[in-house]
Amino acid sequence: MTIKKLLISNRGEIASRIISSAHDMGICCVAIYTENDKDTPYVREADQAYKLSDSYLNSKEILDIALKAKVDAIHPGYGFLSENAAFANQVKKLNIKWVGPSANAIKKMGDKLTAKEIATKANVPTLPMTSDPKRANSIGFPILVKAAAGGGGKGMRIVNKAKDLKEAIKSAEREAEGGFGDKRVFLERYIPRSRHIEIQILGDSYGHIVHLGERECSIQRRHQKVVEESPSPMVDEEMREKMGQAAIKLASKLKYESAGTVEFLVDEKTKEFWFLEVNTRLQVEHPVTEEVTGIDLVKEQLRIASGEELGYDQIDIDFFGSSIEVRLYAEDPGNDFLPVTGKMIAFEPTDDPLVRWDVGIESGSNITSNFDPMLAKIISFGENRIEAANKLALALENSHFGGMKTNRDYLVSILRSKEYLDGDTTTDFIERVNLKSDIDLTHEEITNYAKVGAMWIQGKNRNEAMVLKNIQSGWNNGRLPHQEVRLLHNEDELKVKYRSLKNGDFISEIDENIRIFDWSMDFIDVEISNTRYRSKISIEDDLLLVHTYKGNLLFKILPKFNIAQEEVVKGGLVAPMPGKVVEIKVKKGSSIKKGDTLVILEAMKMEHKVLAPDNGKIKEVLIKENEQVENGATLVVLD
């Protein structure tokens, strides 16, 4: 049956991605959204949209909407209900096509323990593991605690010593139950110097299964991928064939239909590989496979769900060029990659160089702690890996977006690093390679861009003047001090002092000549001491975003006069991010040692421990469990 109307039971960039391919096939698209997502792009891109009463996990309400909208099929995207076998079954019982593998395959592969048993029977190598913590020593430390259900890095903990195992299991269980509704975990041998390599598979209902090569996804933080690419710099033709055939063998055991991914861990030294899991859905990193094969995976999923045959064999699949994807996260790499919230005051992707942007936000989007911190995926293609990396880094630098902290500058640091360009991309990359987490500009360059911002502000003031608008900026008939603009970048206050000249130019306090060639409400072209700056500008309240040749600088416009600050609680330990208080492990009067866990916070479905900075006692506890706290809120007071 041909699919004419499709419901996407997801949100954000993946909903937009699916709509794009479905529209290209002439398929009408139905979106669902919550109150938080009412203004997001995918809702407008869909042909119809229905509001949910609570969450994207409410399968009953989603199915009611599907019946009301009279859709032919449901595409689950990734996350949420995409690997929920019960939901897939419910969809099929309503005579609605499920765009994905069978519920049986989802159930078997959704449980990592069952998946490993099936892999073993298919003679696919697996890592030593156990579900019994008492047998941890038989595996040997370091050990990886893993959730039996779900993925995305949730419910995973690396344990180096036996004494830390109990707390790690407890924390992983809690995170797994919150993320997947299943608290089961197991223990697996951890390989520190390894690579995470996965094979994309496609299967139809007629028993045809092919692989589309590999993706390397080794660069991760908190076991969540940051950079992905295809092909892998370490995989040769022989290894690709071995891993591809292992993936096909496992998929054949499952009678697999639709798109899926078989994930492997590869030892950096020996190139020995072990099965990790099967993701029975579209992967976040699927675009790099599309770029190097020319195959649209969403279209293939829709074709297969409609009952069509693949129509090609393994020998028909060609690989060309290199593709790299980075994930843009709302997080602070300089603060242990903790998630942040705020408003994206500008979001203007570049069209030079031309790269692919899979996004779910726009200028003005409010980023909350309700969902995963991923904002967008940016994908480049080049004739070779170096070209693809340079192109992607330049696209990130040339784009104008910001207003809140993201990992954009850190992504550029990765792509331009010698280690990355040399292909030295093992899973310990982030811990091993010390990279800048902030924009790569000198203090002098930042100061000059502060002057650019100040010149734009004076132009804005003249443009908005209610009286004497035609009089040049700063004009007076007496000898008064220079005009001054105070800007804050991170913790560094920058003062820009200038006065106007008779010819309309300006001169700074240190006698720099400043000439404005062009000015608008979102742009300035200015020359400072014979250096030309052409910058896009965005402003929101007291935040000023100035585009530079290496990305964007966010300044806070300070008032002309200092305002008294709120008093900081002496000895107070503050929240490093906005989030929910999951557990308080101390009480008033508790004795603590440096490094003890005091409070556990959860934000964007991930847990973070607040540790004691020194020995002492708890003087006061200012929070309660399940309370939502803001970034910087005082949690406990130490004595």
pLDDT in tens, 470-520: 555 555 555 556 789 999 999 899 999 998 888 889 988 888 999 999 999
| Residues of the chain scoring pLDDT < 70 | 150-153, 179, 465-481, 561-571, 604-606
301 vs 308: CA distance, rounded Å: 10
Q: What pLDDT is stored for residue 4 in this prediction?
A: 98
385 assigned to active site: no
Q: What pLDDT is stored for residue 579 in this prediction?
A: 81
Q: How far is CA 312 from CA 104, 129, 281, 308, in A?
A: 26, 38, 21, 12
**Active-site pick, 281, 327, 356, 486:** 281
The CA R_g of the chain, rounded to the nearest whole Å, is 27
Q: What pLDDT is stored for residue 188 in this prediction?
A: 87
Helix (H) or strand (E) run with residue 56 in it: none
Q: What pLDDT is stored for residue 462 in this prediction?
A: 85
Q: Domains in the chain, ordered, with CATH?
A: 5-99 (3.40.50.20), 128-189 (3.30.1490.20), 194-432 (3.30.470.20), 443-557 (3.30.700.30), 572-638 (2.40.50.100)
**Residue 495, number of CB atoms within 10 A of its CB:** 14
- pTM of this prediction? 0.86
Contacts of 564 (CB under 8 A, 6+ apart): none
Nearest of 349, 345, 420 to residue 389 by alpha carbon: 420
4 vs 35: CA distance, rounded Å: 28
Strand partners, 563: none
Q: What pLDDT is stored for residue 150 in this prediction?
A: 64
Helix (H) or strand (E) run with residue 290 in it: helix 286-293
Nearest of 305, 320, 232, 234 to residue 270 by alpha carbon: 234
Q: What pLDDT is stored for residue 522 in this prediction?
A: 97
487 vs 496: CA distance, rounded Å: 8
